[in-house]
Amino acid sequence: MQETLHRRDWLIQVLYTAWRMFMKNELQNHAAATAFYFLLSAAPMALLVSYASQILAHVAETSNLATILLAAFYDQFHLDQLMAMGFIPNTARVSAGSAGLLTLILSSRGLVNAVHSAFRVIFTDGAKRNVLVSWLLPLIIIPTIFMLVALAVLAQGALTFLADINLLGGARTLLFKSLNTILTLAAIWGLIFAAYWRLPLKPPGARQALWLAGLCTLTLTGLFAGFGLFFHIEQYRGLYGALGGVVFVLIGSYFASLAFFFWAQCLQALSKVDVAALENLLLNANASDGNRLDALVFGRSNRMLGKYGHHFGPGETLIHEGDDSQDAYFLYSGQVELFKTLDGQPHKLGELKAGQLFGEMAYLLKEKRTASVIAKSNAIALVLPPPMLEELMRFSAPFSRQIIATLCLRLQRMNQTLAS
């Protein structure tokens, strides 16, 4: 039962942390930029699709297989709808001219850079990609994705075509349509997984990226199903005229980009959820005016206590003077006393109450412990290893300010002691 509650709290905290970071990073603006560059890439990409269909139509005059692929090509790429939207001229013969290719190259570079810019905000690591790689990557990614998508679309289109005409028997129609759906979802899943796993300069875990890519795929599937149900291109044509198709695609790509970046932020939040929970616990332990939503989401501290909490009985030593350990401690409950050895005898320096952080100077100064800390009563302390303390200071500016304030207060007390 307790484990189930911990998992539920963890899931809620992950989603809340992702949403909070999503809004803080203003990813809706990155989604708008991505949708804009996608729209610029869509038109020349549609021209290339149409040009490929013309070549395939010429081959289909002498090949039955090419005829099947051509029918699948038209059906899966929705060329009739692209013509209706105005992306492809429906009268003149389309050719992939130099202007179209140049537009595709420039817009594709803008699209990849927009995604990179968002990922640099999401996956903060301070590293920079090689300049040559940054210039060449868009020229490699977009054609590769286009070829993979084209192959997947042709394969699923061929399966759908065979199923619809019952070429291999009516009993296999359901099987082919199921394979068509699975192939579509697998292609989208694989592309999103590749982006989540390889685009960050410090790749996250492959298993986590795989799971989040699956959730993003399901979200996009539901999004497009709902979009097709509640939004119709005719409405946009009536409102915007000839630009209705463009606006329709722009809005759809914007919502798709929002979903893509949100689940990417969730992937990053998996590594930050403990830091966010600890930040809330450490900063709001003695505060009464904290954020109510934060208090509701992170109010249960059992998960963090189970992971980092240690119980100490009266007289039990938390820190030994002269040790090389660098863990920091946060006193969750109880009281502790500080002792320093002078002339071979322990001298009491003071007491600490619940809600105070101590032991961080050993990590900050990379020195041995300068005093011993002994529990005065039954106490519970969160033991924070150096990597977690470093993450907290990077993640939370208020926590870093609290450490600075604590050090300044100690320095002030020391000066007062010396003056007296």
Give per-residue pLDDT as tens, 170-195: 556 566 667 767 877 888 898 899 88
If asked whether residues 367 and 398 sit together in one domain, one would say: yes
- Which long-range contacts link 84-88 to residues 24+ away (Cβ below 8 Å)? 84/233, 84/245, 85/233, 85/244, 85/245, 85/246, 85/248, 85/249, 86/242, 86/245, 86/246, 87/42, 87/43, 87/46, 87/47, 87/245, 87/249, 88/46, 88/47, 88/49, 88/50
If asked whether residues 258 and 326 sit together in one domain, one would say: no
Q: Give the pair of three-digit tokens for residue 274.
A: 């403990």
| CA distance linking residue 343 with residue 346, whole number of Å | 8
Structural domain harbouring 285: 274-419
- For residues 213-235, one letter each, b for 16 or more C-beta atoms within 10 angstroms of the residue's C-beta and e for the rest, the string is bbbbbebbeeeeeebeeeeebee
Number of domains forming the structure of the chain:
2
Burial class (CB in 10 A: 0-12, 13-18, 19+), 173: middle
If asked whether residues 177 and 194 sit together in one domain, one would say: yes
If asked whether residues 174 and 186 sit together in one domain, one would say: yes
Query: What pLDDT tens digit does each residue of the chain (420 aa) get?
Result: 667 777 888 888 899 999 999 999 999 999 999 998 887 776 656 656 666 666 666 666 666 655 655 555 555 555 555 555 555 554 444 444 455 556 666 667 777 788 888 988 898 765 555 555 556 665 666 666 666 666 666 665 566 655 555 555 555 656 666 776 787 788 889 889 988 988 887 888 899 999 999 999 999 999 888 876 666 666 666 666 656 667 777 888 899 999 999 999 999 999 888 888 888 888 876 555 556 777 777 777 678 888 899 999 999 999 999 898 899 999 999 999 999 888 778 888 888 888 888 888 888 888 889 889 999 999 999 999 999 999 898 888 888 888 888 888 877 776 776 666
If asked whether residues 81 and 148 sit together in one domain, one would say: yes
| CA distance linking residue 228 with residue 180, whole number of Å | 19
- Which pLDDT score is estimated for 88? 52
Q: Which amino acid is at 330?
A: F
If asked whether residues 255 and 283 sit together in one domain, one would say: no
If asked whether residues 278 and 243 sit together in one domain, one would say: no
Kindly compute the dihedral angle of the four CA atoms of residues 272, 275, 277, 280, in this order, to the nearest 10 degrees. Answer: -130
pTM, two decimals, is 0.76
If asked whether residues 199 and 284 sit together in one domain, one would say: no
If asked whether residues 266 and 278 sit together in one domain, one would say: no
- Which pLDDT score is estimated for 236? 63
CA 317 to chain centroid, in Å, comes to 42
If asked whether residues 237 and 104 sit together in one domain, one would say: yes
| CA distance linking residue 54 with residue 72, whole number of Å | 14
If asked whether residues 215 and 339 sit together in one domain, one would say: no
